[in-house]
Amino acid sequence: HTTHRTISFYHILKRHIYVFFLCLQDKHYLCIMASDSPEQNLTQYFSLCNDFIHAARLRDGNVLIHCLAGMSRSVTVAVAYIMSVTPLTWREALKVVRAGRAVANPNLGFQRQLQEFETYKLVEERRRLKERYPSLALADRDLSECRVMLDSYQTMLNQRTICEGKCSMGRQCPTGNYFTILYLKRPCFISRRSF
């Protein structure tokens, strides 16, 4: 029996809190109230989320990290976790996530936070996790799986089935597979295959 754990983000809209999941009694939840805004500080939650994810994984549990669109907040938390348990940089960790979810694209504020986390806090977070969870049970497997995902990402780039997520606002993606939505504050990549 595998225990599923969820990190869920509340989405705040017009002063109302909308919850986009059904709480199940046999599941464990960590809910973070955070908006998808470049000004939102997600860094303050990285250690809490890392503990939640890592503890579940050490008990052979699966973790679902989700937000409204699965593009920015949840991706940022996943990237921070991957960085914390592997030697990968934030850009490499984002490629790992994008290999499995092509629309993964943290807003510019979250990207800046990931860069700052890497520069100023990552060494300490890695040390903290190793002290709290001394088992290296996941380390080799995590790095191996990340390498496979990085290879997969590069293959998809070469085959032009994915782009690097740097398309100009309002322009068609050079791969022809995605288009950007103008009304958002950042490019939002929508697969043409979904139409």
- Using the Cα atoms of residue 168, residue 171, residue 173 and residue 177 in order, give the sign of their dihedral: positive
Q: Token digits for 9?
A: 């983000």
Active site residue 67: yes
- HSE of 131, CA atoms in CB hemisphere, 13 A: 7
Spatial contact of 49 and 78, defined as CB atoms under 8 Å apart: no
Q: Could you say which of 23, 31, 67, 146 is catalytic? A: 67
Task: Enumerate the active-site residues.
Answer: 67
